[in-house]
Amino acid sequence: MIYQWYPGHMTKARRMMQENIKLIDLIIELVDARIPMSSRNPDIDELGKNKTRMLLLNKADLADERQTDAWVDFFQAQGYFVMKINSKKSGGVRSIQNEIQKACSEKMERDRKRGIQNRPVRAMVAGIPNVGKSTFINTVAGKACTKTGNKPGVTKGKQWIRLNKTVELLDTPGILWPKFEDQKVGLRLALIGSIRDEIMNIEELALELAAFLMDVYPGILAEKYGIHEKKDSYACLKEFAECRKCLLKGNEPDLRKASVLFLDDFRNGRIGSVTLETVKEYEND
């Protein structure tokens, strides 16, 4: 299966970001902690040249904590301000304002020396679809400023949100990039729901996920569902269908329905804390 999705509105969104970048002091890029590198849009690096960069590993509650800590170290070594967060919970997210001030301290000092006072830091919030940008903004602002949804493509245009006298955020639509050079990246994006399920072969996605879990997290399916993991991924998906009572006439497993439920369990952390890629894959790049 070819993993690709780049609807027309993403071209428009990229152009809008390019037009607004001159107004920005800081780019806050949200990535999914389960695929920190695969969920980074290379276009944002191009747009953000010479800008201070902050990287937020969102949905850290769904990811393997040891792997997330390794990713934090990896990105910090590259000069990013990095935090791991769960954008649905206000505790850690509220502290982001202090981190924004720290990231922009040099810029604020330059303004002070030039006699510019009380000018708020302007930060662009960017990232791929369904990574949690709007939820993050609503949480850090303490109110519903933007529309949210557990599917890609909810945010359609730009929106400025004033957090307080010192910080303003620019919300932007989630954008992918026109072509994935590595189809493993496309697969990982599809697994977390950043590519619309409607254009995917959902059963093939579920089989890929089952095979990965049995290989990298052995025992996790047996513990959660009582599945015999010594079988192949197809047999595991059939067992999952029977476990979740996804049956057709004659007690035949309904693999499509089972696949939807299996992916939903993974995406919402019900299977367990799972990371789909490791730092080791990228250390020699």
Question: Tens digits of per-residue pLDDT, 25-78?
Answer: 999 999 999 999 999 988 888 888 888 999 999 999 999 999 999 999 999 999
Structure tokens at 174: 């989630």
Contact (Cβ atoms closer than 8 angstroms) between residue 146 and residue 37: no
Closest CA to 59 of 26, 42, 38, 83: 83
Residue 149 above 80 pLDDT?
Answer: no
In SS3 terms, 3-36 reads as CCCCCHHHHHHHHHHHHHHHHCCEEEEEEECCCC
Instruction: Please tell me the predicted confidence (pLDDT) of residue 1.
Output: 59
Residues in the chain: 285
Residue 144 above 70 pLDDT?
Answer: no
Instruction: Please tell me the predicted confidence (pLDDT) of residue 271.
Output: 96
β-pair type (159-162, 26-32): unpaired
Q: How far apart are CA 148 and CA 11, in angstroms?
A: 21
Instruction: Please tell me the predicted confidence (pLDDT) of residue 41.
Output: 86
pTM for the model: 0.86
* pLDDT bracket for residue 107 (50, 70, 90): confident
Structure tokens at 204: 């093939």
Q: How far apart are CA 259 and CA 34, in angstroms?
A: 20
Instruction: Please tell me the predicted confidence (pLDDT) of residue 156.
Output: 47
Instruction: Please tell me the predicted confidence (pLDDT) of residue 18.
Output: 80
Sign of CA dihedral 50, 277, 31, 127: positive
Q: Specify which of 64-78, 98-112, 137-151 reaches the highest per-range mean pLDDT.
A: 64-78
Residue 208 above 80 pLDDT?
Answer: yes
Instruction: Please tell me the predicted confidence (pLDDT) of residue 176.
Output: 73
Residue 253 above 90 pLDDT?
Answer: yes
* pLDDT bracket for residue 263 (50, 70, 90): very high
Instruction: Please tell me the predicted confidence (pLDDT) of residue 248.
Output: 92
Instruction: Please tell me the predicted confidence (pLDDT) of residue 154.
Output: 43
Structure tokens at 61: 């509650």
As a 3-state breakdown, the chain gives helix, strand, coil percent values, each rounded to 5, of 45, 15, 40
Residue 249 above 80 pLDDT?
Answer: yes
Contact (Cβ atoms closer than 8 angstroms) between residue 271 and residue 265: yes
